[in-house]
Structure formats: structure tokens, C-alpha cells
Homo-oligomer: A and B are copies of this chain.
Amino acid sequence: MDNLEAIIESLLFASDTPLTIDKIKSVLETADRKTVREALTNLAEEYESGKRGFFLAEVAGGFQVRTRPEYRQWIRRLKETRPARLSRAALETLAIIAYKQPVLRSDVEYLRGVDSGGTLRTLFERRLIRVMGRKDLPGRPMIYGTTKQFLELFDLKDLNELPALKDLKDLGETWPNDSR
């Protein structure tokens, strides 16, 4: 491992948020984007081929070292406290906002058929959605969109990486999961 890679590794390791290439570049001063990207690619390959306990995830426009999903059970045992789960309602509301953004609350409620104020508030508090602006309509309603934290949570590089909406006609007998 060369020195630059080791330094970048230490930065990734010390950061609690994904680091962009530009961020790494600005910290290192001397390096250019290409060099940083190469070092990141090398690190990613090394983690992969070395079958390490972690891997390099490309999320929310940056890079973050994360533990391998296959070890989830052990880490959950270590952490004991379970993270707050998203309710089915919150998840569906979030999916609507992710796919339809920029979107109004009334659009969300039209799709779901129910008042969604409380759910929106929850998503807001968890910083998964944000106000993108206001619509030029009576009452100037807020326009919602997803946040960086949303991308981080679902391991998405950017919004383009959202899985394509399924064509219902191709699905046949399968039904969406439900908690019920």
C-alpha cells in the first residue's frame, strides 16, 4: 500500500460521513482528482480481494468504508440497541417522495389516500426528506425531496441509482411485501 492510499484510508476511516473526491483532494492539497480516484479504486479492490471485514461503498456522491453486509448479525449483536425501524407507512411515503420528487404533500396524500402529516414529520426528523422550495400556489405549499441521508441510508450513489419502477404487467403473481 503506498503512502497516499494509506493517508486516504486514514481519512475515510476517521470520517463519520461519506467523503467526496473533492473533499479528499482539498485536504491533501497536492493530489489531483485522478490520483485520488485511482487510490480509491485500489483501496476498493484491496478490500474486496482481501475479503476484509469492510468494503468501500460509493454513496451520496462520496465514499465511505462500511462493514460487509454478510456480517450484519454479528454487529447487531455487538450493538444490541436496534436502530429505529421505518414503519411501512413511512417507507411508502419515502418511496413516493424519492420517485416523484419534487413533490407536494397533496400529491403524496393523493397517492396514499390518507393524511400524511405525521409521517412526513417523522421523515423530516430523521432527515430523510427536506424542503426543496415552495410552489407558487395559494398557501405557498412546501415542495419535498429526499436528502443525502436518504442516499446514505439506502446505499445509493445518487438518485439515478434508484431501482426502476416495475411494470406491473410483468409481475404476475407476486405481490409487494406487507407487514400484515
Q: A117 in the interface, Cβ–Cβ < 8 Å?
A: yes
A13 in contact with B53 (CB, 8 Å): yes
Question: Bound complex: CA of A23 vs CA of B83, how far in Å?
Answer: 12
B13 in contact with A65 (CB, 8 Å): yes
B167 in contact with A142 (CB, 8 Å): yes
Q: A175 in the interface, Cβ–Cβ < 8 Å?
A: no
Q: A179 in the interface, Cβ–Cβ < 8 Å?
A: no
Residues in B whose Cβ lies below 8 Å from that of A9: 52-54
Residues in B whose Cβ lies below 8 Å from that of A15: 78
Given contacts A51-B1, A77-B27, contact A67 B14 (CB under 8 A): yes
A121 in contact with B27 (CB, 8 Å): no
A172 in contact with B71 (CB, 8 Å): no
Residues in B whose Cβ lies below 8 Å from that of A75: 10-11, 14
Residues in B whose Cβ lies below 8 Å from that of A120: 171
Shortest Cβ distance from A72 into B: residue: B10
| Chain A 2-22 interface 0/1 with B at a Cβ cutoff of 8 Å (1 = within) | 010111111111110001000
Can you give 16 contacting A-B residue pairs, CB < 8 Å? A7-B53, A10-B54, A10-B75, A13-B67, A14-B79, A27-B74, A117-B170, A118-B171, A118-B172, A121-B173, A124-B171, A131-B163, A133-B160, A133-B161, A142-B163, A142-B167
